[in-house]
Chain A
Amino acid sequence: MSAEAAVDVELKDVRRAFGATQALRGVSLAVHAGEVYGLVGPDGAGKTTSIRLMAGLLLPDAGQVRTLSEDPAAPRSHVRESLGLVPQRNTLYGDLSVEENLRFFARLFALSKEDFAERRARLLDITRLGRFTDRRADALSGGMYKKLALACALLHRPRVLLLDEPTNGVDPVSRRELWELLYGLVHEGMTLIVSTPYMDEAARCHRVGLLYAGELIAQGAPRELTRAHGVAASDFEAVFLALVEKHTGGRAA
């Protein structure tokens, strides 16, 4: 990733509330093309809201959201043709098989038969789901389900892939496999935005944004952040806790 890489996703002073709850309080961030950007924070920090805003699934109350230089929530936006989303919840069709889910999403993205055949074979290969094509989605293990969701989101070769806590509820082996998969995609030039509550996963990202109570309390490369706080590169949790304490004046400690 070069320093001059184009900005694929940008949030400018974005605010969003749900009733009396302020989910985002003026968040600004920019994600460059080919980058793995981690949105790291505890539950309720505003990670899912940020991802949904980037995907155009929510409108901001104030501020601006740009994804691939477009307003993703605009009615005639073409962003979705270049965007992949793996939501936090299990949102695939549980009563449909692996094959039927893949085929359905391929048709929504208007893939030709040839393109689908080629991508299906590749995705089944890299996700190792080839043996389970007839299995219903709701009969898959947590890890396999996430891989299927990833495969469905990758069928149309998106430029930007949004992953909302993709490793949530996934065993350590599947987690490692998922991250290997994601790195493979970055090598192909894809931009990845991954939200996670796991601090150890922050180290896997090129840059991270630390979200706390709807605010972006720090942003930067994981190594720079750990170095600035004088802790080991693997101890990202210490960085996060220190930043939260500084941000809240010790009230959250």
Chain B
Amino acid sequence: MTTPTRRGSATLGRILAMAGKEVLHIRRDIRTLYLALAMPVLMLVLFGFGISFDVDHLELAVVDQDRTDLSRALVRQVTASGEFVAIEDGTSPEAALQQLRRGHAAGVLLLPHGFAEDVQRGTAQVQLLVDGADGNTATQALAKAQALVEVASRQLLGAGAPVQAPPLEVRVRTLFNPDARSAMFLVPGLAAYLLAIVAVIITALTVAREWERGSMEQLFATPVGRLEIVVGKLLPYLGIGVLQVLLVLTVGAWVFDVPVRGSLVALGLGALLFLVGMLGQGLLISVVTRNQMVATQVATISSVLPSMLLSGFIFPIENLPLPLKVISTVIPARYFVSTLRGVLLRGNGLDVLWPQLLALALFAVFVLVLATRRFQRRLD
């Protein structure tokens, strides 16, 4: 009679056999390793540099109709930081608007006739026109330009103009990312996005390959259980996933100066749970499709779109329409992006991030149970 100990040891042996076989496949198919390790790093660097919401060196068409020392000083103040660059310095509003229409300028700063005199009277106004066709740039340009003009006017008016202090003053200080660098919040989101894609696609491909080549038939004729197949097949890819996380975080820190301020335990746990969930999703897709081409397509669509659009990676969850906001609650990338930003930027630990980790764990368990149940040891 087979004892439980012997059964347990046989189970472990079969899981290791499956995992070992998978490692051999990976070693002999360098494309898998490339897809798993080189692609995320390459994409992280490309995306990290390519995607930026930072408003810097924006072209500003300046229309200085006043042509006084004060008006020129204001323009110098506004462009001194380098966030705005004056490309047009004329007196014709039409010419400046033409630059805006052609997309050569992101904004127009108009200083009207009599500006210096109005400043002395305390009734000066400047006009700022921004290109609303690019909403994000327009919003940021508007905020920055307003702040710069305000600061500049305070300094310029120090000479004696009657400046009234507002009854309430807000002093804004941006924490965790004081320079508001896009890379700081994009890299964690990008890491989740890339890991999701690679983990889901690789798993979907490798399991579907077993169906397509018929080796599942051979496996099912042996005593190997479906859970042993699932765990054995996923283990090597979990290892690769952990390597991916380390690589992506290293590149994030090295190339983009993204820090790790919080709990490494929360980070590790979050990454592990997220990867298990993504591998489970890939497995479920391959079990249902049993075809490499279809599996790749389904895996790509089901991982790329949600992890980009519904994870908070680019678009804040709060700004999503209600139906999408509801759907985003079942997207694991949402919780992993939140975990990464929490650990890397805000310095959070388990005490703060446990709800995100719980959500990741629930998704991982749900998808693995579903995949294992659908993964019948039969060919029909």
Chain A positions near chain B (C-beta within 8 angstroms): 52, 55-59, 73, 75, 78, 80-81, 83-85, 87, 89-96, 100, 104-105, 107-110, 152-153, 162
Chain B interface extent, by class: 20 to 34
Residue pair B378, A59 in contact (C-beta under 8 Å): yes
Nearest 8 pairs of A and B residues by beta carbon: A107-B17, A85-B221, A110-B10, A91-B218, A91-B214, A89-B214, A108-B222, A80-B223
Nearest-Cβ distance from residue A162 to partner chain B, whole angstroms: 8
Partner of A96, one of B10, B21, B224, B378: B21
11 residue pairs A–B, Cβ–Cβ below 8 Å: A57-B220, A58-B379, A78-B223, A80-B222, A89-B214, A96-B25, A104-B20, A107-B14, A107-B20, A108-B14, A162-B221
Closest to B15 in A: A107
Q: Let me know if B213 is at the binding interface, CB within 8 A.
A: yes
A78: chain B residues at CB < 8 Å are 223
How far, in angstroms, from A192 to B222 measured CA to CA in the complex? Answer: 17
Residue pair A90, B10 in contact (C-beta under 8 Å): no
Residue pair B25, A95 in contact (C-beta under 8 Å): yes
A90: chain B residues at CB < 8 Å are 214
With A108-B17, A109-B222 known, 5 other A-B pairs at CB within 8 A are A55-B220, A59-B378, A59-B380, A80-B223, A107-B20
Residue pair B223, A55 in contact (C-beta under 8 Å): no
B29: chain A residues at CB < 8 Å are 95
Nearest-Cβ distance from residue A206 to partner chain B, whole angstroms: 23
How far, in angstroms, from A109 to B16 measured CA to CA in the complex? Answer: 13
Q: Let me know if B3 is at the binding interface, CB within 8 A.
A: no
Residue pair A87, B24 in contact (C-beta under 8 Å): no
Residue pair B218, A85 in contact (C-beta under 8 Å): yes
Q: Let me know if B28 is at the binding interface, CB within 8 A.
A: yes
Nearest-Cβ distance from residue A33 to partner chain B, whole angstroms: 20
How far, in angstroms, from A153 to B222 measured CA to CA in the complex? Answer: 9
Q: Let me know if B316 is at the binding interface, CB within 8 A.
A: no
Given the known interface contacts A58-B379, A95-B28, A95-B29, the answer about A104 and B21 at a Cβ–Cβ threshold of 8 Å is yes
